A = this chain, B = another copy of it.
Amino acid sequence: MTNTATLTAVGLGPGDPELITLKGLRALQMADVLFVPQSRDGDQSLALRIAEPWIDRARQTVVALPLPMTRDASQLRPAWRAAAETIVAELGADRQGAYLLLGDPLLYGTFVYLWRELTALQAPVAVRIIPGVTSFAAAAAAGGMPLAMSNERLIVVPASYETDAATLRRLLNDFETVVLMKAGAALPAIVAALEELDLLDHALYAERVGMPEELIARDLRALDPQRRPYLSLVIVRREDMP
C-alpha cells in the first residue's frame, strides 16, 4: 500500500474478459475502488460487464460515473468534471482506484477527458495507464486478416467521417490497410463504397468482438444494415490475403 491516492486506467481489451493483461488484472484486483463509465440510458456499463469476473464485491467498491451520450462538448465537460470530483472524493488521501474501460485507454477511450479534468483540479492523485488490446487487433485475429506486414502502412479512422468511395479510394491508395471504427450507422455507405471500388472481397466486418454477441463476417452484403451496433468496425486491405 502506498501513501498516495492512485488512479490506474486499465484497458480491458475489446470484450473477452480473458483479453485483459496480467498487469491490468493485478491493478484491478489491487484497487479499493473501481470506477466505470455509465451512459445515462440505464444500460449496464460494458466495462463493468467485461471486468465482472475479476471483481471481488465483498472487498471492492464499484462506482459508476454517469456520462451523457452526446458529442456536445458543453454537456460533456461538466460531466467529466463531476466524474473527476467523484474520483477525488472516493480516493481520499491514500486509496487505490482503477478506471476500467474497453480496448486501450488512449485509443478512442474516455480516459483522456477524465485525466484532463483531474489535471485541471490539481487533484492529489497519481495517474498510471495500462495499455490494452484494441478492438481492431482482436477483430483481425478473429477474422484472420493481417493488419500490416513489412513496409506496409495502416490507418485507423472513425467510419462516420470517412465512408464515401472517393475518400476510401484515396485512403486505400496511400495505405495498405484501412480500419473503419464505429462502423455501425455507416455500414450502408461503406458497403456502397467497397462495391464501387470492387473491394468487397477484401473486407472484414466485426462487431462486439470477444463478447457473447460477437459477429465476424466476410460478406458485408449479407448484414442487415439496420441492426448494426456502435461497437463495430470494418477492416479493408488493398492486397489479397497472404
Contacts and interface: CB of A to CB of B under 8 A. Distances in A.
Interface of A: 11, 13, 16-23, 25-26, 71, 104-108, 112-113, 115-116, 127, 129-134, 137-138, 140-142, 144-158, 160-162, 175, 242
Nearest to A129: B141
Nearest to A73: B150
Give the interface centre of A131, A134, A151 by most chain B CB atoms within 10 Å: A131
Contacts of A115: 242
A177 B189 CA distance: 25
A129 B144 contact: yes
A104 B155 contact: no
B22 A140 contact: no
Contacts of A106: 137, 140-141, 145-148
Given A11-B133, A18-B21, A116-B242, 19 more contacts: A13-B21, A19-B131, A21-B22, A22-B22, A104-B141, A104-B147, A106-B148, A108-B150, A112-B149, A113-B242, A115-B242, A129-B141, A131-B134, A131-B137, A131-B140, A133-B133, A151-B160, A153-B156, A154-B157
A26 B18 contact: yes
A164 B131 CA distance: 30
Contact of A18 (B11, B22, B157, B158): B22
A140 to B, nearest CB: 5
A146 B134 CA distance: 14
Contacts of A19: 21-23, 131
B155 A155 contact: yes
A136 B69 CA distance: 28
Contacts of A150: 71, 108, 158
A123 B137 CA distance: 25
A195 B158 CA distance: 30
Nearest to A17: B22
A146 B21 contact: no
27 contacts: A11-B133, A11-B137, A13-B21, A18-B23, A19-B21, A19-B131, A21-B21, A21-B133, A22-B22, A104-B133, A104-B141, A104-B147, A106-B137, A106-B148, A107-B154, A108-B148, A129-B142, A130-B141, A131-B138, A131-B141, A132-B133, A153-B161, A154-B155, A154-B156, A154-B157, A155-B156, A155-B175
